């Protein structure tokens, strides 16, 4: 049974499960959780929903919409959870918390205030008990700054799984590494990239501004304004941090591919041969920001860029496919979703569908902004935007909008009972539909709808 156990459904970030769902119009239940950023719901084998908050709590919700438990992960320091949890096949939950600390250096007769960001990977059992916590290592540089990430962990393996996470180290610039953790111990780390600080361009918040913006948001009593007046989504939440992808189907079942975007311009693919990662290929882009990569069962790798380009590669060889690539009018910073031939992705106020040749198949203008990812079931596409939660037919010719669900940041998730879960900007988790079963049929592009917009 396919389960939405990790960010964007699975290790590959396909954003799809073969489950029949319903139009997200009449909620089954909704419950206040707390402030959530780009983190999205994930679902365990017993249909418990897990989500992390910007208050540093991981919350477990029963399928009936009641709170099962809450677990604070930060301790005495103010901290946040910015990414999605991941549920392993053994039922344990993995989630990353980040603290933002300041230290004062009095040496030399002058007080120098240094910022230290530090992330910790936590393992919790299904009851909410913390099994172990792994604090990201410090940089080897004299500054000794801690490693951190804003993205989501990815797990691989049945019992005693490996957890793959990126780590950023701030020195005179940025150093970027890939860490592999097992049972609370670091089993492998490798350099991915090092680069100088980004220039000051006046083009809006960058990586260094993300935490400050989020802390201002969660400590402010002012409601988020989605009318276009006031802070933009990026000013409030920063830009979405890419999460890596793990390909473990077919020939990769025992030695999965690990795909990571280096927070700058390079897309890199490795093969995991315990206890090391073997570099396979690298592609460098002109764009400085890219989305989480997504891979599909036909060997296609897709990734979006800040200049609106959606890029396609063969995951084995790194060969570029179907050029010239399609270019949207807005940044593509969330992973695309697909179950086969067509690829769905959000580009600010547009939902765009490309055919399997990089040609535009269909598009729809949204009434609000979407910085999250599209979620696909066996019969619908779901998009969370600042003007509501959309349900689309696959050909985009029919759609419904639930204006009560004001979103645009957190991505929808789909349970194996057909329930659609989505987090809004008002601290509320919503559930729609459910009580359906998996389908063995290939998804249809033309489900039976009435002739008018539903």
pLDDT tens digits, one per residue of 102-124: 655 555 566 555 667 889 999 99
Average pLDDT over residues 251-273: 92
Does residue 426 form part of some domain? yes
Q: Is residue 55 part of a domain?
A: yes
| Phi, psi (degrees; rounded to nearest 5) at 13 | 65, 40
Residue 31 lies in a domain: yes
Spatial contact of 300 and 318, defined as CB atoms under 8 Å apart: no
7 belongs to a structural domain:
no
Answer yes or no: is 234 within a domain.
Answer: yes
Any idea of the CA torsion for 141, 204, 308, 40, to the nearest 10 degrees?
Answer: 70
| Whether the predicted pLDDT of 11 surpasses 70 | yes
Q: 94: domain range?
A: 27-433
The model's pLDDT over 50-107, given as tens digits with 9 standing for 90+, comes to 999 999 999 999 999 999 999 998 766 668 999 999 999 999 999 999 988 765 555 5
Specify if 219 maps to a domain: yes
pTM: 0.90
**Residue 233 confidence class, pLDDT cut points 50, 70, 90:** confident
Question: What CATH number is attached to the domain comprising 92?
Answer: 2.130.10.10
> Between the CA atoms of 225, 227, 231 and 234, what dihedral angle is there, to the nearest 10 degrees?
100
Residue 200: band (very low, low, confident or very high) from pLDDT cuts 50, 70, 90: very low
CA dihedral over 309, 179, 160, 299, signed as positive or negative: positive
For 150-181, b where at least 16 C-beta lie within 10 A, e where not — what string?
bbbbbbbbeeebbbbbbbbbbbeebbbbbbbb
SS3 label, residue 270: strand
CA distances to 30, 321, 351, 378, 440 from 385, in Å: 18, 30, 10, 21, 30
pLDDT at 223: 46
Give the pLDDT band (50/70/90) at residue 145: low
Cα–Cα distances in angstroms (integers) from residue 239 to residues 4, 16, 256, 371, in the given order: 23, 23, 28, 9
Domain presence at residue 22? no
Residue 173 has pLDDT above 80, yes or no: no
pLDDT over 80 at 37, yes or no: yes
**Any domain includes 119:** yes
Q: How many domains does the chain have?
A: 1
């Amino acid at each position: 049974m396919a389960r939405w156990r990790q960010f964007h459904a699975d290790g590959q970030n396909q954003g799809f499960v073969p489950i029949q769902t319903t139009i997200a119009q009449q909620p089954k239940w909704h419950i206040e959780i707390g402030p959530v950023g780009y983190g999205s719901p994930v679902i365990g084998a017993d249909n418990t929903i897990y989500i992390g908050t910007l208050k540093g709590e991981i919350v477990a919700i029963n399928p009936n919409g009641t709170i099962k438990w809450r677990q604070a992960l930060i301790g005495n320091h103010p901290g946040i959870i910015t990414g999605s949890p991941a549920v392993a096949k053994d039922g344990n939950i993995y989630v990353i918390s980040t603290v933002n600390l300041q230290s004062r250096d009095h040496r030399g007769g002058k007080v120098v205030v240094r910022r230290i960001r530090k992330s910790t990977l936590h393992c919790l059992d299904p009851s909410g008990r913390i099994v172990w916590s792994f604090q990201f290592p410090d940089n080897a540089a004299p500054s000794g700054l801690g490693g951190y990430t804003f993205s989501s962990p990815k797990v691989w393996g049945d019992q005693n799984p490996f957890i793959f996470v990126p780590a950023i180290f701030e020195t005179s610039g940025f150093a970027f590494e890939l860490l592999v953790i097992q049972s609370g111990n670091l089993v492998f780390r490798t350099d991915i990239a090092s680069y100088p600080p980004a220039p000051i361009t006046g083009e809006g918040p960058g990586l260094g501004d993300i935490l400050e913006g989020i802390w201002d948001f969660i400590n402010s009593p002012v409601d988020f304004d989605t009318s276009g007046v006031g802070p933009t989504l990026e000013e409030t939440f920063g830009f979405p941090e890419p999460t890596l992808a793990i390909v473990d189907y077919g020939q990769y079942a025992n030695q999965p591919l690990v795909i990571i975007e280096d927070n700058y311009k390079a897309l890199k693919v490795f093969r995991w041969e315990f206890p090391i990662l073997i570099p396979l290929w690298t592609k460098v882009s002109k764009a400085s920001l890219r989305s989480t990569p997504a891979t599909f069962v036909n060997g296609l790798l897709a990734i979006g860029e800040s200049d609106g380009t959606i890029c396609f590669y063969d995951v084995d060889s790194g060969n570029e496919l179907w050029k010239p690539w399609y270019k949207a009018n807005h940044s593509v910073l969330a992973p695309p979703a697909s179950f086969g031939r067509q690829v769905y992705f959000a580009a600010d106020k547009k939902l765009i569908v490309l055919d399997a040749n990089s040609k535009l198949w269909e598009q729809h203008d949204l009434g609000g902004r979407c910085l999250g990812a599209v979620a696909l079931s066996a019969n619908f596409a779901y998009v969370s935007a600042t003007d509501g939660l959309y349900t689309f037919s696959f050909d985009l010719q029919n759609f419904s909008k639930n204006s009560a669900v004001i979103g645009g940041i957190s991505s929808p998730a789909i349970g194996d009972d057909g329930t659609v879960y989505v987090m809004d900007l008002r601290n509320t988790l919503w559930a729609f539909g459910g009580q359906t079963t998996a389908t063995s049929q290939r998804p249809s592009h033309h489900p039976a709808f009435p002739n008018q917009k539903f």
